[in-house]
Structure formats: C-alpha cells, structure tokens
Amino acid sequence: MQVEQLREFVIDKVDDLKGRDIQVLDVHGKTDVADYMIVCSGNSKTHVKSIAEYVATQAKHAGIPPLGVEGGEQSEWVLVDLGDVVLHVMQESMRDFYQLEKLWSQ
C-alpha cells in the first residue's frame, strides 16, 4: 500500500468510529519517523482506546501490522505507529495541552 493510500485508509477507519477533528500533518522532510501524522479526538477514554484499537486491527487485517501501539493503558492519548503514517488519538484536554498541530506546522 502506498503512503497516500495508507493515509486515506487510516482517515477512513477513524471516521468509521466517529473520531472528531481529524487533522493530517505532512511531516516528511521534518522528521524521519513518518511522512504523515494524523491527529484526532475521542469523546472519552473508552472512545480514544476504541478508535486506536479499531485502526490497529483493521490495518492488521489489511496486511499492515502496526509497528507499535502506545498509551492504551490510560487511553488519554493513544499512538498507533504504522510506519509512514502515525496516528495520534487524543482526548480533547490532552490535545489542547500538547498542541501537536501547532508543533509540527512550524
């Protein structure tokens, strides 16, 4: 799967579970970690965890096993690393505090 297809796959899966305020950050050239970071919000810890687990499971079924999933224990901010695309699912308070969009747009 091409990186653009993977990006759209992740956005589609986040949308399936009603992730809010989906933002795509093009970070290639700014970091070697990924080409895209996708940031979205969940309504609660359960919603955040559900979105992240759903994306990870669907990616695995599509033949793209996640390199890692972090933060599921507290579920305030869960990261799903799919290589070229990294998904950040956050509760609104965490998203407001860390402001990843502002950090990576500089």
Distance CA 83, CA 1 (A): 12
CATH homologous superfamily of 3-105 equals Beta Polymerase, domain 2 (3.30.460.10)
Q: Where are the alpha helices (DSSP H) in 1-106?
A: 3-16, 45-61, 92-98, 100-105
Distance CA 49, CA 77 (A): 8
pLDDT tens, residue order, the chain (106 aa): 799 999 999 999 999 999 999 999 999 888 888 999 999 999 999 999 999 999 999 999 999 999 999 998 888 999 999 999 999 999 999 999 999 988 887 6
Q: For position 106, what pLDDT does the model report? A: 65
pTM (predicted TM-score): 0.95
Compute how many other C-beta atoms are within 10 angstroms of the C-beta atom of residue 1: 15
3-class secondary-structure state, position 18 = coil
Question: Domain limits of the chain?
Answer: 3-105
